[in-house]
Amino acid sequence: MIKNQLARFNRLDLISAPTALEKLERLSLWADRDIYIKRDDTTTLALGGNKVRKLEYLAADALAQGADTLITAGAIQSNHVRQTAALA
């Protein structure tokens, strides 16, 4: 259902392959249930991270509107700013 809803938005493919799910063994033992983490830190754009997923939609929308410049703001160590600069 969510996949169908997202399909109506333009998307720029910035993630070259699916990111892994890694089981957190010790936390799973402690919680007495299987717990996994999605390894978005392994994406290739500007040291990776989950911000690439947001940029896939923001950049596609900007391009669809004919933009030739991306402007963003953030803290000095902002992953979003670093990845936006790498994309540009």
28 a catalytic residue: no
- The residue from 58, 78, 79, 81 that is catalytic is 78
Q: 35 φ, ψ to 5°?
A: -125, 130
How far is it, in rounded angstroms, from Cα 13 to Cα 26? 34
Cβ atoms of residues 41 and 20 within 8 Å: no
Residues annotated as catalytic are 78
